[in-house]
Amino acid sequence: MKTKRLIEILNPAVDKKYLVFIAGLMWCGVGIMLISFAVSWLNHFKGNGIIFYYSAGIIAAIPIHFWGFLGLAEKNINRILPLRGKKCIFSFITWKSYIIVIIMISIGVTLRHSSIPKQYLSILYNGIGLGLFLSGVVYLRQAFKLINH
């Protein structure tokens, strides 16, 4: 009996509306972080064509959002919505997704420390960052619908 109570105390459980909200905050937050990397790199860029790098990143964000992250966000929202009762705060994504996140972070760190010129990386970072942010907004819209009901 005491073990079960201890597990309940140590398990930070929340309602599904907060899981969706947390997912939205995470996706938007990571998107903003990636965009801020790209912006800081382009602020230090002394060459011509800065508009090209920003534009290319924004253009890249469109397919990244629609054909990449949007489907994942909708699939994850559809996984969360049928949940009943309180669930662990970390279950806003599946355990398999945590593995993918670790791989993506590793790739990002490797790219940031590579010899690839930062203005070229800014296209990728702006594209992925804006794609993540836009998909995070999908989570937040759903969370506000749930919270207001």
pLDDT in tens, 60-108: 999 999 999 999 999 999 999 999 999 999 999 998 999 999 999 999 9
41 occurs within a structural domain:
yes
- The whole-model pTM stands at 0.89
Whether 123 maps to a domain, the answer reads yes
Q: What angle do CA 54, 60, 62 make, to 5 degrees?
A: 115
Does residue 6 sit within a domain?
A: no
41 is in which domain, residue-wise? 15-147
In a domain, residue 106? The reply is yes
pLDDT digits (tens, 9 = 90+) for 11-29: 788 999 999 999 999 999 9
In a domain? residue 93: yes
Which DSSP string corresponds to 35-62? Answer: HHHHHHHHHS--SS-HHHHHHHHHHHHH
Total structural domains in the chain? 1
